Amino acid sequence: MKFLVLFLLVLSISARISGGDRITGRSFATRSEVYAVHGMAATSHPLATEAALEILRAGGSAVDAAIAANACLGLMEPTGNGIGGDLFAIVWDAKEKKLHGFNGSGRSPRSLSLEKLREEVKALGKKEIPPHGTLPISVPGCVDGWVQLHERFGSLTLDQVLAPAIRHAREGFPVTELIAHYWQISARVLGEQPGFRETFTTDGKAPGVGELWKNPNLASTLSEIAANGRSGFYEHRVAEQIASFIQKHGGYITVEDLASHRGEWIDPVSTSYRGVEVWQLPPNGQGIAVLELLNIMEGYPVKQWGFGSADLLHHFIEAKKLVFEDRARDYADMDFHDVPMERLISKEHGNQMRDKIDAAKAMKRIDTGRPQTERGDTVYLSVADSAGNMVSLIQSNYRGIGSGVCPTGLGFGLQDRGELFCLEDGHANVYAPGKRPFHTIIPGFVTRAGEPWLSFGVMGGATQPQAQVWVLMNIIDFGMNLQEAGDAPRVVHVGSSQPTGSIMEDGGEVALESGFLPAVIEELRKRGHRIGSRKGLFGGYQAVMKDAEKGVWVGASESRKDGHAAGY
């Protein structure tokens, strides 16, 4: 009888996974993929997606549309991004038939030394750089990123591109459900930070679901950027207001730091996985963790194990632990640290890492290091246009609305990405003046036979490389469509990097979304994994795929967020 009950349970769940409840696909898929001929946009807010389509219909490029959507998200989803944060992008140029990478991360203040920062941290009674206030603020790289991307790949004028966001900021927009939830949390956590209440609340209260929210100060700031480009942000009134406000409240960013900032065009790097080429940006971000993970997983019979199996989950979790050891040791600003990138993303290194994994037992301790990056709030978006250009873009303040510091009258908050510096001499990511901190945000891209195939990403701190690999296995190994691959239950391992010390204790913790078999979870426990219950760790996915055979774009959007994919 026990065997019969277990058999029926497995049969029932297997039927659901293979499409038992859903007419055209797997039961966990929340909706169908989106198809269109001329262009496609996938973002985490419906009005941002519509802004991208508005720009595409007006003759704008994929880059124009991506900037328009990002500007709207900074207004509508300030809990994840904004012009006080940083930006990374991978662009497929259809004319050149080439990928271009852009690193838009800002640097630390040049007037703040490591010794002085240590003194400031100690005076606060802390051992690490705090997440809030002026100390973790690094130069915002977003606007410079917009301008450089637009100069190279834009078709419309910058004022046309920013017009939808400016219009929504002045007229107001209704706040969506999930964003309202995080906005209210931010108000509780950041309410006492300089300028926060005036910028993001009404008499201390965050907007609720469906409430109309206006931000005329942000509209004015965006208008200055639209009229004057990068000088409208990094020089003159806006720059002076940012620097003076930070310094007034004990920080170190100067107008010279702002004026001297420039993001960098960089070559993406790649590895192959079962016949496709997966592309990421090199450090100071964590993108190469995706490539390392894929190199390990490629040597396993992933398809044979099956989606959601104990073998798949166990080996994936163990591979992640090893990759994050490399991440903690070597992922840093390459101007300050000699990152052994070619070795790390090589197949040989993947083979060596795979040999360290015990198929029956979870690793409990691994020498690692900083940074601790389990949580992070970000937006990811993807856009494609009728000419065949594709953009994979990610933008963030790091923790929610970032530092919580909001310069008077400008309508946005400043990031706290500098929190991810460490204070240990000799560490790859030790703080230094004019240095870019370790970054979590990573855009992804996949080519097939040298042609563009998939522009995708999954926002969410340390979740990002894990979830990107999970999505790719879903598509490539398990044959899921673009929407199913994102909707499928996810696994996230947390605890590889500790805030103090340099070891993973007790194997960390495995967070599983609902949908995995109880017998699988029990088997993971038997192999030594600690199964925890954590919400909000599973990220936010967007994707656009090119179906060259049919001549159409395919879009998918994260069911765990408020947005959608749409085309024209």
List, as one string, the DSSP characters of 80-93: T--TTSEEEEEEEE
Chain centroid offset of residue 309 CA: 27
pLDDT at 532: 86
User: C-alpha angle with apex 320: 318 to 324, nearest 5 degrees?
Assistant: 125
Give me the mean pLDDT over the 170-188 stretch: 96
pLDDT at site 67: 98
pLDDT confidence band for 371 (50 / 70 / 90): very low
Report angle CA 203, 204, 209 to the nearest 5 degrees: 100
3-class DSSP assignment, residue 145: helix
Give the chain's mean pLDDT.
Answer: 93
Stronger pLDDT, 402 or 2, i.e. the higher one = 402
Integer distance in angstroms from the first to the last C-alpha of the chain?
55
Q: Known catalytic residue: 378?
A: yes
The pLDDT of residue 22? 75
Query: Residue 243 above 80 pLDDT?
Result: yes
Predicted confidence at residue 501, as pLDDT, reads 36
Position 376 scores a pLDDT of 54
Q: How confident is the model at residue 504 (pLDDT cuts 50, 70, 90)?
A: low
Mean pLDDT to the nearest integer, 134-155: 98
With a CB cutoff of 8 Å and minimum separation 6, the contacts of 441 are 86, 88, 285, 376, 378, 380, 394, 395, 396, 459, 464
Q: Which residues of 507-521 are buried (b: 16+ CB within 10 A; e: fewer)?
A: bbbbbbeebbbeebb
pLDDT level of residue 535 (50, 70, 90 thresholds): confident
Do the beta carbons of residue 219 and residue 411 sit within 8 Å? yes
Question: Which pLDDT score is estimated for 367?
Answer: 56
Architecture of domain 266-374+452-560: Orthogonal Bundle (1.10)
Q: pLDDT by residue (tens digit) across 318-351? A: 999 999 999 999 999 999 999 999 999 999 999 9
The stretch 25-34 carries a mean pLDDT of 92
Per-domain boundaries in the chain: 43-265+380-418, 266-374+452-560
Q: Which helix (H) or strand (E) holds 151?
A: helix 142-153
- Per-residue pLDDT tens over the stretch 52-80: 999 999 999 999 999 999 999 999 999 99
Q: Residue 498 and residue 488: Cα distance in Å, rounded?
A: 29
Q: Tell which residue, 10, 41, 78, has the closest CA to residue 410.
A: 78
Q: Look at residue 4 in the predicted model and tell me its pLDDT.
A: 43
pLDDT category, 8, cuts 50, 70, 90? Answer: very low
Position 167 scores a pLDDT of 98
Which whole number is the average pLDDT over 244-270? 98
Q: What is the mean predicted confidence (pLDDT) over 92-104?
A: 98
Confidence (pLDDT) at 423: 96
Instruction: Summarize pLDDT for 182-232 with one digit per residue, the tens.
Output: 999 999 999 999 999 999 999 999 999 999 999 999 999 999 999 999 999
What is the reported pLDDT for 12?
A: 44
Q: CA nearest 568: which of 41, 32, 33?
A: 41
What pLDDT score was predicted for residue 500?
A: 32
Res. 18: pLDDT tops 80: no
pLDDT in the model for residue 495: 85
**Residue 27 banded pLDDT, cuts 50, 70, 90:** confident
pLDDT value, residue 9: 42
405-437 pLDDT, tens digit per residue, is 999 999 999 999 999 999 999 999 999 999 999
Q: Per-residue pLDDT for 564 more than 90?
A: yes
- The secondary structure of residue 255, as a DSSP letter, is H
Catalytic residue, from 378, 440, 447, 463: name it: 378
Q: Give 373 or 125, the one with higher predicted confidence.
A: 125
The H or E element that residue 228 is part of is: helix 216-228
Above pLDDT 90, what percent of the chain?
88
State how far the alpha carbon of 230 is from the alpha carbons of 82, 251, 460, in Å. Answer: 15, 23, 28
* Lowest-confidence region among 203-207, 401-405, 505-509, 541-545: 505-509
Which whole number is the average pLDDT over 250-266? Answer: 98
